[in-house]
Amino acid sequence: MIKAVIIDDEAEGRNVVNNIVKNYCTEVEIAGEAATVASGVKLIQKTNPDLVFLDVQMPDGTGFNLLEQFDEIAFQVVFVTAYEQYAIRAFKYSAIDYILKPIDPQLLIEAVEKAGKLSPGKNQSSERVSNLLENSKSISKIALPTLNGYRFVKVQDIVRCKSNNNYTLFYLQTNEQFIVTRTLKDYEELLKNESFIRVHQSHLINLNYVEQYIKGEGGTAIMSDGSEIEVSRRKKDLFLKRILHE
């Protein structure tokens, strides 16, 4: 059984999560509920849960404040939130699951299933939450799902990403490369507000690492790692506008 707690200042929100879990997630036992950060911390300390359903905004602080009270995070976190967009981006970068209110029951069921698969690793839970807390202030680190778990990488260290069917190859400025179990389209969306641009169907590049541009029908971007990345004809104007800061 997965032991869970619900921390949300709205009684209706707690009831919705409770009802969905009881009706559809038979492997989950709700061990308690809390309505504030302070009572939530005490509840977690008392029950030692495997999973915490956590609201972001509460009367005495935020879900982030609650997580900061723990030196080690030995539980999985699913945020249930109506919070603003920047926090949603932080969750995505950190590989922390979240569900927007009003709650879609199917999304909550899927979040529980995912949490159950991830539950063994205390250290990984701590790192994912630490990454979230860092990214809740400003996006700096990204959690990349690999075949063996998660790889935590500074966004500024990513030189380029290359599509490999349903996977993505990441190339870092340290000359490391590794495969990630998500598509390039996912990272095009996730990194769109950073210094990245998709210049070709197969390539997403960090403009900070472009060292030269060679003219052509679409042209070629020469990257700091020596790679030559084709720029598609339809992406050429946007690429030049971004790289020249026009």
| Domain shared by 61 and 87, yes or no | yes
Strand pairing report for 158-164 and 203-206: antiparallel
What's the predicted TM-score (pTM) here? 0.81
pLDDT, tens digit (0-9, with 9 covering 90-100), for 42-87: 999 999 999 999 999 999 999 999 999 999 899 999 999 988 777 8
23 pLDDT higher than 60:
yes
Domain that includes residue 59, residue range: 2-135
| Domain shared by 6 and 128, yes or no | yes
- CATH code, domain carrying 76: 3.40.50.2300
| Domain shared by 107 and 58, yes or no | yes
| Domain shared by 107 and 14, yes or no | yes
| Domain shared by 11 and 128, yes or no | yes
| Domain shared by 60 and 162, yes or no | no
- CATH code, domain carrying 195: 2.40.50.1020
96 pLDDT higher than 70:
yes
| Domain shared by 154 and 115, yes or no | no
| Domain shared by 128 and 176, yes or no | no
- Res 117: pLDDT: 77
pLDDT, tens digit (0-9, with 9 covering 90-100), for 61-72: 999 999 999 998
Question: Last residue of a domain, which of 135, 152, 177?
Answer: 135
| Domain shared by 160 and 238, yes or no | yes
| Domain shared by 35 and 126, yes or no | yes
Question: Last residue of a domain, which of 69, 100, 135?
Answer: 135
Q: What are the residues whose beta carbons fall under 8 Å from the beta carbon of 76, sequence distance 6 or more?
A: 50, 51, 52, 97, 115, 118, 119, 125
3 state DSSP class of 124: helix
What CA–CA distance (Å, rounded) separates 146 from 71? 26
List, as own/partner pairs, every contact residues 100-105 make where C-beta atoms lie below 8 angstroms and the sequence separation is at least 24, other chains included: 101/13, 103/13, 103/16, 103/17, 103/20, 105/20, 105/24
| Domain shared by 18 and 91, yes or no | yes
Residue linked to tokens 């003219």: 215
pLDDT, tens digit (0-9, with 9 covering 90-100), for 188-212: 999 988 999 999 999 999 999 999 9
Please report which confidence band the pLDDT of residue 123 belongs to, taking 50, 70 and 90 as the band edges.
low
Q: Tally the domains of the chain.
A: 2
| Domain shared by 235 and 167, yes or no | yes
Question: Last residue of a domain, which of 80, 109, 135?
Answer: 135
